[in-house]
Amino acid sequence: LAPLADVGRMGLTNYLMQYLILITVLGQGFGLRVVVVGWFSLLLINCFFVVQILYSHWWFRYFQFGPVEWAWRSLTWFRMQPMRITPRPVLQAELAT
């Protein structure tokens, strides 16, 4: 279950992304009248969730928080929170090896 940890760390972002994208694609967003029924709807939603897992894992390589979580935290504390992960300093012993 470790790959799901990143998805949970940016749960609000993933929830909003899932809602907006699926309602746009499957709803009236593009003026399409798409009807997805049965196993295809389950396949579509699961494929989208796999994309979210990969996106979340990629995101946390560079950032501390999800974009919506960062905005929420910044608004809560009334100041901009650091978003990027600060690089770890390289020790002299690591350079020698």
Whole-angstrom distance, CA of residue 51 vs CA of residue 47? 6
Looking at residue 39, what is its pLDDT?
82
Look at the block and give the residue holding tokens 């979210």: 52
At residue 34, does pLDDT exceed 80?
A: no
At residue 97, does pLDDT exceed 60?
A: no
At residue 5, does pLDDT exceed 90?
A: yes
Output the pTM of the full model: 0.77
Whole-angstrom distance, CA of residue 73 vs CA of residue 81? 7
pLDDT tens figures, 7-25: 999 999 999 999 888 887 7
pLDDT tens figures, 42-94: 888 899 999 999 999 999 999 999 999 999 999 999 999 988 887 767 666 65
Buried residues in 56-69 as b, exposed as e (16+ CB within 10 A): beebbeebbbbebb
Looking at residue 42, what is its pLDDT?
84
